[in-house]
Amino acid sequence: MAAITHFSQSVMPVADQPRADRLLEGNPQRHTWTHYETADEALSCGIWACEPGAWRIHFAADKHEFFCVMEGLVRLHDEAGKVVEVQAGEAAVIPAGFVGVFEVVQAVRKYFVVCQTAAS
Give average pLDDT by consecutive 10-residue segment, the chain, 120 residues: 89 97 97 96 97 98 98 98 98 98 98 86
Contact in structure between 64 and 93 (CB atoms under 8 Å): yes
DSSP 3-state of 81: coil
Return the amino acid letter for 64. Answer: H
Asked if 76 and 93 touch (Cβ cutoff 8 Å), the reply is no
pLDDT at 112: 98
State residue 119's pLDDT score: 61
What is the architecture, at CATH level 2, of domain 20-116? Sandwich (2.60)
**What pLDDT, on a 0 to 100 scale, did the predictor assign at position 1?**
72
pTM for the full model? 0.93
